[in-house]
Chains A and B, each alone.
Chain A
Amino acid sequence: MSTFYALLRNPQGALGLLIVTILLIVAIFGPVIAPNDPESFNFGSRFAAPSMEFPFGTDWYGRDLFSRILIGARSTVLLAILATVIGTGLGAIIGVLSGYLGGWADEVIMRLTDAIMAIPSLLFALMILAALGSSALNAVLAIGIAFAPGMARIARSVTLQVRALDYVAAAQARGEKLGWIVLAEILPNTIAPVIIEATIRVAFAIMTLATLSFLGLGAQPPSPEWGLMIAEARDHLFRSPWPVIAPGIAIALVAIGFNLLGDGLRDVLNPKTAD
């Protein structure tokens, strides 16, 4: 709770928290707020500019962009968060284990993650999708796996500091099992930097998801997923910019919101700058 209040006092953190809260409300209640059916065609008002009736304008079928964005928020934002959670969880456990075990195990795990990190994460996600087949959930899984090595590096470097502390020695001396030492003694103490990195990664996940959808490997039409919306609207860019601008701004807002939240958390969770 004190973290929450400290976050509110931090200007970046407060703004980030505001944006992310609005976003989550939209993601949850989007379908209720949306004034129109996102998939109903209004051929009378194709390529309409923003107006009272269509706040963000309409696309080439005359579908209401405002409603599409509100409803698309759920799949876009929640899938991005899911991808980040998978990547963070996987990476943190690998990193902590590698850092704690040290020696040969550490060398092998870290060189493997280095090799994976050498492949751009989009390309790596594409490879995984090629193997798993294209669907929204597979895209999430692919991004999660692609994120894991980076998270593992961060978790490992924090673990190396924590491992030298006496409470780990005390646990070893009383004969604790590996599972308890890694999950209960070390992991909770490495969590702050990992959470901060995760919030920043959410923005990356949204952009990568959007890119995958853009390439036709994530969500499939007529789903109002934001990346897919941009990909489809590209053909009509010269008739009307609104079908590209509206989801584009939405993605940018999410990225900024999570980045700000991450920056705020970094200051708040760091005991040196917290006081």
Chain B
Amino acid sequence: MTDTLTLNDYGLWYDTPSGPVRILDDISLRIAKGEVLGLVGESGSAKSSLANAIIRDLPGKVHAEQGTILLGDQDITAASGAILEKLRGQRIAMVFQNAATTLDPVQTVGNHLIETLERHTTAQGQAATARAVELIEMVGLPDPQAMLTRFPHEISGGEKQRVVLALAFACEPELILFDEPTSALDATTAATLLDLFRDLQARTGVSALFISHDLGTVSDIAHRVAVIYGGRIVEEGAVETVFSDPKHPYTQALMASLPRPSDGRTNRGLAGTAALPAPRRGEIPPCIFSASCPHHDAAICDAQQVRLTDSDDRRTACARVAKGQILHTPAAPNPAPSPRGDDALLQVESLTVSYGSQRLIDSLRNRISPHVRAVNNVSFKVRRGETLALVGESGCGKSSLARALSGLYAHDGVTRLGNEIIPSNSPAWRARVQTIFQNPDSSLNPRHSIGTILGRPLKLIRTDLAPQDRAAEVARLLTRVRLPADYAERYPHQLSGGEKQRVAIARALAARPDVIICDEITSGLDAAVQAAIARLLREIQAESGTALVFITHDLGMLRHIADRVAVMYLGEMVEMGEVASLDTAPWHPYTEALLSSSHSVDPDSETRRVRLTGSLPKRTEDLAGCPFASRCPRHVGAICDSQQPPRRHPAPDHEILCHIDASTLSAVPPIWRFSDQLETQQ
């Protein structure tokens, strides 16, 4: 039987003003009928370019292409436009990362589906509409008839991605390409979408290429996995084999930088040495990974071009592995937690942030204008040397809270530093509380040198520092975040993503703050860079005793950065406690769902799946009951919808906002089943 897709020695070079750039080379892959191949790699590994090459839609100016791409028996590398038009949508479908931009905002959901069906299948008119309804039912969307007439802006992000999935399955293609389909979605939504895809895939027997940077997601969905680095496949094999026992040094490094649910028990640390970007121009070294490889041995590795070689259970592109050598990447030690003080540095009492103001017209009509309460009556404190993680999904109010604490948004409630009440927009607050923003690309002014960027807080806040000492202080700050001191003369665009975030950290440190607010500072970075940033923050905290408020949606990182955790849902803090308390019940039902939907590659644990259904209430509604009531899998009855839940204290310093009492919550089955060895350790 022929495979659905076969790539033979495929290579791609783009033309740029500064000469040809190697994008992909020496790619040999195949996807059998009914098989899902996962393709994992970090940013810049050209994993999306491979999808572009397969669907024959290359965004760049092609310098050269070599090898063949076979769809079934047909070579599509040389296919004409007319042939490709027939292929796309009908035999190959594609699902992009961002459903919001994939769907045309002026076309209804029905039009999208019907147009695709009428163009590529024999179904026309009534038949196409009937098939569209069938497809919408198939992807589990409620009320299919009504859904046909909806516009993309009228449905939620998760629903949009379901529509895109329905579009992909519409013509019963042989192959579907997924380019990071769940990266833009919340964990709980992504989990249900993956379940749906797994179910549809089993039913239709479609083949798929599943591209993702998230190894956990891939391990959940794919049969085989290929690891791509610098435009070459470095290791390929069955998911269980590759992930449980990686052989290639790059795969090993990648796995070592990923957090696992069992880390709390094994005290495993994260490796933070990121691989260098692979060479793209000029002479290509025999082994693409040689510049970053800890096991590089010139005699063996540089002898000849390193290609994928078969061993009994996988293919690996490593000369030493091919010789039968077994390479080990040593585990990184976990940094010692910084000493925590007893004095609260930051205290927040009943903080509320709301958007929207009373409009004149509504006042005249005696109505209250709709307003959104982004953060509702939140109180917490952070002690010296302590990290409080604020977690929650998009729209839960964590960023509004961060901006309120940075003095950027007006809010109600009391903020204290030490025991003094200090308003968050006062100079005294600004001098002692610093913020690191999510995206260093937008938080560092591209027109300012690193020296200027770091010099401003010195000038404004460190008034004790003489102007002539500032340059020396800038150099000291750069060294402190492990960057060379001569970076002061560089501009942000000359730095990599991780380096930029280090500069942003140095800028926050420049003011010698008591409290640093980190707003999603590790999302958008590769896992190894994330691990390195987390390690750096830990070290700085141990030296200076700074209190950190670490905002994130990534639960995996929590065990490596935070001491305490607060879970937010729709502006409310539904649970707060020690990070260690996350490992065992009781959990708030939302925390339980959140923890169980995060994917990770962990040979030492198995995760129980909790799936959320139901929809979020309107943000402008005033909720009488629990904010989570509409989606709660442990809903206990009318009381959830009508009464505010009480704060329960299953343990000192552990708070759960729920109608269910603590002992019942403690009795729920565990989320993770750890390997026997780890279970007995407890």
Contact = CB atoms under 8 A, between A and B. Distances in A.
B460 A189 contact: no
B511 A173 contact: no
Interface string A151-184: 0000000000000011101111111100000001
B17 A275 contact: yes
B438 A166 contact: yes
Most buried by B among A6, A174, A188: A174
Q: How large is the interface on A (under 10, 10 to 19, 20 to 34, 35 or more residues)?
A: 10 to 19
Most buried by A among B403, B406, B438, B445: B445
A166 B500 CA distance: 13
Nearest to B406: A173
A185 interface: yes
B355 to A, nearest CB: 15
A167 B430 contact: no
A46 to B, nearest CB: 55
B435 interface: yes
B403 A185 contact: no
A165 B333 CA distance: 37
Given A166-B439, A175-B427, A189 B447 contact: yes
Most buried by B among A165, A167, A170, A176: A170
Contacts of B435: 170, 173
A169 B408 contact: yes
A234 interface: no
A9 interface: yes
A184 B447 CA distance: 9
B446 A189 contact: yes
Given A9-B17, A175-B430, A167 B406 contact: no
Contacts of B457: 174
Nearest to B426: A175
Contact of A166 (B407, B442, B448): B442
B443 A175 contact: no
Contacts of B460: 174-176
A148 B16 CA distance: 39
B87 interface: no
Interface string B295-317: 00000000000000000000000
A131 B351 CA distance: 57
Given A165-B442, A166-B439, A172 B16 contact: no
Nearest to B405: A173
B596 interface: no
Interface in B432-474: 434-435, 437-439, 442-448, 456-457, 460-461
B456 A174 contact: yes
A165 to B, nearest CB: 4
B437 A166 contact: yes
Interface in A183-201: 184-185, 188-189
Contacts of B447: 188-189
Nearest to B60: A275
A275 B430 contact: no
A217 B427 CA distance: 54
Nearest to B444: A167
Contact of B16 (A188, A189, A275): A275
A70 B133 CA distance: 76
Interface in A1-31: 6, 9
Given A9-B17, A167-B444, A189-B446, A174 B408 contact: no
B21 to A, nearest CB: 10
A189 B445 contact: yes
Contacts of A174: 430, 434, 456-457, 460-461, 511
Contacts of A6: 17
B61 to A, nearest CB: 10
Contacts of A167: 442-445
A28 to B, nearest CB: 31
Given A166-B443, A167-B442, A173 B408 contact: yes
Nearest to A177: B460
A25 B313 CA distance: 73
A169 B17 contact: no
Contacts of B427: 175
Contacts of B407: 172-173
Interface of B: 16-17, 403, 406-408, 427, 430-431, 434-435, 437-439, 442-448, 456-457, 460-461, 507, 511
29 contacts: A9-B17, A167-B442, A167-B443, A169-B403, A169-B406, A169-B408, A169-B437, A170-B435, A170-B437, A170-B507, A172-B407, A173-B407, A173-B434, A173-B435, A174-B456, A174-B457, A174-B461, A174-B511, A175-B430, A175-B431, A175-B460, A175-B461, A185-B445, A188-B445, A188-B447, A189-B445, A189-B447, A275-B16, A275-B17
In the A-B complex, the 3 residue pairs with the smallest Cβ-Cβ separation, listed nearest first, are A166-B443, A188-B447, A166-B437
